[in-house]
Amino acid sequence: MLTELKREAYEANLALPRHGLINLTFGNASALDRRRGIFAIKPSGVAYADLRPADLVLVDLEGRQVEGRLRPSSDTPTHRRLFLAFPQIAGVVHTHSTHATAFAQAGRAIPILGTTHADFFNGDIPVTRRLTRREISGDAYEWETGGVIVERFRRLDPLAFPGVLVNRHAPFTWGETVHQAVAVAVAVECVARLALLSLSLAPGLRPIEPALLRRHFRRKHGPGAYYGQAS
């Protein structure tokens, strides 16, 4: 089963450059086996072209490396903190995709302007506060990065808002599987680009009408969802 977990995380990581979400080695994906409390994550600094399933590192939810000859991603504590805080999820993705990262660097949420966005998020894609000097300078910087995400989600459902922009940094997304987290990462970059284009055409553009937001979000999510095929 853990070999399959590594394979799942490997395939998710390779999907990121294939979708144009990755430059160099900026980004990572992880997949969690919640029953065992172990997740597989990309090793730090390894080029995607060189990555092999055996290179994936296994880490438990206490932060101990349980398998792998390479060091895990430097973002591993952020992934771990999200897995601990959001029991509904089993996959996390981090990218520095261009348009979404532009919003993150500006400290701006991605406004919900159309139905493409509403298919994935039940509102604006949120942005965290900036990390404090103490949070940045300590030994637990990546853990603190997860902390500002968890703080931002005190009143938000992580499945209704399956991603966030870390202020001055970049997006993180998640899902009930790592492949869902990848799909959300693709969507976040898509709607960030659409938002920038839409606002350049209509600078005073208002958010989507609430009824249209509800219709598009609910047809894909929740007990009344009818998009796609029955399982």
Q: Is 48 a catalytic residue?
A: no
Confidence of residue 231 (pLDDT cuts 50, 70, 90): low
Mean pLDDT of the chain: 97
Whether the per-residue pLDDT at 195 is higher than 70: the answer is: yes
Confidence of residue 230 (pLDDT cuts 50, 70, 90): confident
Residue tagged active-site, from 48, 119, 124, 141: 119
Q: Amino acid identity of 58?
A: L
| Residue 135 placed within a domain | yes
Residue 72's DSSP bridge partners are 43
Domain harbouring 184, CATH code: 3.40.225.10
pTM, two decimal places: 0.96
| Residue 225 placed within a domain | no
Structural domains counted in the chain: 1
CB-based contacts of 46, cutoff 8 Å, min separation 6: 25, 55, 70
Whether the per-residue pLDDT at 117 is higher than 80: the answer is: yes
Q: Is 50 a catalytic residue?
A: no
Counting Cβ atoms within 10 Å, is residue 205 exposed (0-12), middle (13-18) or buried (19+)?
middle
**The two three-digit tokens of residue 41, written as one number:** 């994550």
- Tens of pLDDT, residue by residue over 55-88, are 999 999 999 999 999 999 999 999 999 999 999 9
Distances, alpha carbon 173 to alpha carbons 58, 137, 180, 203, in Å: 20, 25, 9, 27
| pLDDT score for 87 | 98
The answer to whether the CB of 121 falls within 8 A of the CB of 112 is: yes
Average pLDDT rounded to a whole number, residues 124-129: 98
| Residue 231 placed within a domain | no
| Residue 19 placed within a domain | yes
Distances, alpha carbon 185 to alpha carbons 21, 181, 182, 198, in Å: 8, 6, 5, 20
* Domain of residue 37, residue span: 2-218
| Residue 227 placed within a domain | no
